Structures are given as C-alpha cells and as structure tokens.
Amino acid sequence: LILARVMAEAQRLLRHAASPVAEVAAALGYDDASYFSRAFKKHVGSTPEAFRRQR
C-alpha cells in the first residue's frame, strides 16, 4: 500500500515536473536513483524515462 502511494506520487512528479529522475527519486526518499528506476519499472511496467516520454 505504501509503495503504491509512492509510485503514484512518482508518476505525478514525472508527468508534471521537469526534474531529473534522480531528483524525483531523492524527493521520494530513495538514496539510489537506479534502485528507484528498478522499483518503478517493476511496479509501473516501464522505466521512469520511458514513462515520462509517453506522457
């Protein structure tokens, strides 16, 4: 449940903010942007970069 909320916020930030993925990851409490990217892909089905391009 908490991960779902974090990923929903990640999707919102990636849609509406121009911040780099590393900044989005840090804003959500991830110390490692690559770990965030892997978790995002596992939960959403695409990388943060691909998700942002699809918006």
Q: What class does CATH assign to 2-54?
A: mainly alpha
Mean pLDDT of 26-52: 97
Q: What is the pTM of this model?
A: 0.90
Q: Is the distance from CB of 11 to CB of 4 less than 8 angstroms?
A: no
The predicted structure's pLDDT at residue 9: 98
**What confidence score (pLDDT) does residue 14 get?**
97
Task: Write down the mean pLDDT value for the chain.
Answer: 96
Domain boundaries, the chain: 2-54
Decide: helix, strand or coil at residue 28.
coil
The pLDDT-based confidence of 55 (bands split at 50, 70, 90) is confident
Q: Which pLDDT belongs to residue 40?
A: 98
Give the model's pLDDT for residue 25.
Answer: 98
